[in-house]
Amino acid sequence: MLYAAVAMSSFRRYATYTAATLAGIFTNSVFGVIISFAYIAVWRQNPDAGGYDVTDAVTYCWLAQAMIMTVAIWNGGTTDDVAERIRTGDVAIDLYRPVSLLGWFLAGDLGRAAYHLLTRGVAPTVVGALLFDLRFPANPLTWLAFLLSVALGVVVSFGIRMLVASSAFWLLDQTGMLSLSAVFAMFFSGLAVPLVLFPEPFRSVVLALPWSAYVQVPIDIWLGQRHGPGVLGGLAFQAGWGAVLLLACAALLRVADRKVVVQGG
């Protein structure tokens, strides 16, 4: 299976940088501690803010740290390779390969995400569980739904990052768009603060935006805030955004395809 091989080699590529991984885990854990105490202070004042109790809130904080690299909230991943290849013109080679460009890099990104989930996802969560009282799902089905939800979160994030990277076909440099998309991702994913804390008209809006698929939806499944049909609704919400974004990427690539000029060709 070609795409599985691409995902596997991407997994191994990211697994090379052990020191960077350990350093990242340390930093995520430090931020996890800081934010935990901030949330504890908020929920001490208002014990059911946003429909969470304090254990939910602290668990949310650590899972959000676990998601930073896994879902690539601050960008990165294989889409950075795409942008660089567009800038240098190497993308021309990718475009005439007998495989879908989108499928190739999505498989690579899922391999990357698997590595980051197992290291920078699991390790800070273990640290958090040692230091604080966290909530873990009791039902094996919830675990399964959570994993599926994280994978769908990666697909949605890939779709948005790929759109940003494709802007390099026209702008040559994705840096400006990248910082813009980082602002949206950090704030609307629920990394900066749980989306359930937003005051009402905004809360419904941000929960409907694709970025909530990064952090808020998977964590609500983990916490049991979504149960039964709510879980399926959350997964369908993510899958829907994922499909829309991937279709948009495919359409954009078709347009860009006609635009690529190989130097000297």
Binding site for another protein (CB under 8 A): 17-20, 22-24, 26-27, 30-31, 34-35, 37-38, 40-42, 45-46, 49-50, 173, 175-176, 179-180, 182-183, 186-187, 192-193, 197-199
Residue with Cβ nearer another protein (50 or 128): 50
Q: How far is the CB of 87 from another protein (least distance, A)?
A: 14
Amino acid (one-letter) located at 239: A
Task: Confirm if 52 and 194 have CB atoms less than 8 A apart.
Answer: yes
Residue with Cβ nearer another protein (28 or 79): 28
Q: How far is the CB of 186 from another protein (least distance, A)?
A: 6
Q: How far is the CB of 231 from another protein (least distance, A)?
A: 26
C-alpha to C-alpha distances, 97 to 80, 88, 91, 92, 101, nearest whole angstrom: 19, 17, 10, 9, 8
Can you spell out the DSSP letters for 180-230? HHHHHHHHHTTSSS-GGGS-HHHHHHHHHSGGGGTTHHHHHHHHTSS-THH
- Residue 172: CB atoms within 10 A of its CB come to 10
Task: Confirm if 52 and 196 have CB atoms less than 8 A apart.
Answer: yes
Q: How far is the CB of 209 from another protein (least distance, A)?
A: 15
Q: How far is the CB of 180 from another protein (least distance, A)?
A: 6
Task: Please give the Cα distance from 189 to 68 (Å, whole number).
Answer: 10
Residue with Cβ nearer another protein (99 or 180): 180
Q: How far is the CB of 44 from another protein (least distance, A)?
A: 9
Residue with Cβ nearer another protein (160 or 231): 160
Task: Confirm if 132 and 58 have CB atoms less than 8 A apart.
Answer: yes
| E strand residue ranges, 8-109 | none
Residue with Cβ nearer another protein (45 or 263): 45
Residue with Cβ nearer another protein (199 or 265): 199
Helix axes 78-88, 140-166, angle to 10 degrees: 10
